[in-house]
Structure 1
């Protein structure tokens, strides 16, 4: 088994894959989208492939060490950002091909008008332990 992160990117501006930004969806369209995500997670819980998932608020803060022992803090994300990290899901699957299959299915979540949004998902494997050399 291998763990993968499915990183959901919300595009605030219209894109070919999502012609209506989420902030212009009806309350029912938002509810339908969220229910699709819940149903998807429940299906993966039954197969043992679900690990965890969370939606993220659009607000955020950038923090870094300033070199003098104080955190440098900047509000973010910034208005010029075309997409935000909207949430994530962690899956534990038998193969990379299975991870691709599930990411494609998750990409079909409904959006405006109930049409699949064809959302781009970033698929990232978790780092594994380096191999141990034994003699």
Structure 2
């Protein structure tokens, strides 16, 4: 088994087929989207493949050590940026192919008008767990 991070990106560019910003969704559409995520996680809990997952706020802060005591802090990231990390899920699966399969399924979460958003997900193995690509 190897752990993979499925990193959910919200892209402002037309990267997703159903690229309607979430602030333009109805409350029922948001509820359906969140329920899809919960159901997906519950399914993976049942197979023993789910490790953890979280949705992230659009608010954040940048911090960087400057070598002189207290690190400088800058506002951001900002929702108007082209690419914003929306959340993540960690899975523990038998192969890279299974991680890709799960990311594809997660990408089909519903959005505006209940249509799949086809969002891009970044799939990354955890350091020390090289992917087992068999293609």
In the alignment of these two chains, the number of paired residues is: 130
| Alignment partners' CA distance in 2, 1:97 and 1:13 | 27
Displacement after TM superposition at 1:128 (Å) = 1.4
Identify the residue that residue 133 of structure 1 maps to in structure 2.
none
Asked if 2 retains the 8 angstrom alpha-carbon contact of 1:109 and 1:118, the reply is yes
Gaps of 5+ in 2: 131-135
| Alignment partners' CA distance in 1, 2:15 and 2:82 | 10
What is the TM-score when the length of structure 2 is the normalising length? Answer: 0.90
Gaps of 5+ in 1: 131-135
Displacement after TM superposition at 1:97 (Å) = 0.4
> Bigger radius of gyration, 1 or 2?
1
RMSD over aligned CA atoms reads: 1.7
Show CA shifts across 1:83-110 (max 9, x none): 2111000000000000000000000000
What is the TM-score when the length of structure 1 is the normalising length? Answer: 0.90
Identify the residue that residue 111 of structure 2 maps to in structure 1.
111
| Alignment partners' CA distance in 1, 2:103 and 2:49 | 12
What is the DSSP-based 3-state SS (H/G/I as helix, E as strand, rest coil) of the residue aligned with 1:71? coil
Asked if 2 retains the 8 angstrom alpha-carbon contact of 1:12 and 1:22, the reply is no
Which structure has more strand as a fraction of its residues? 1
Displacement after TM superposition at 1:14 (Å) = 4.9
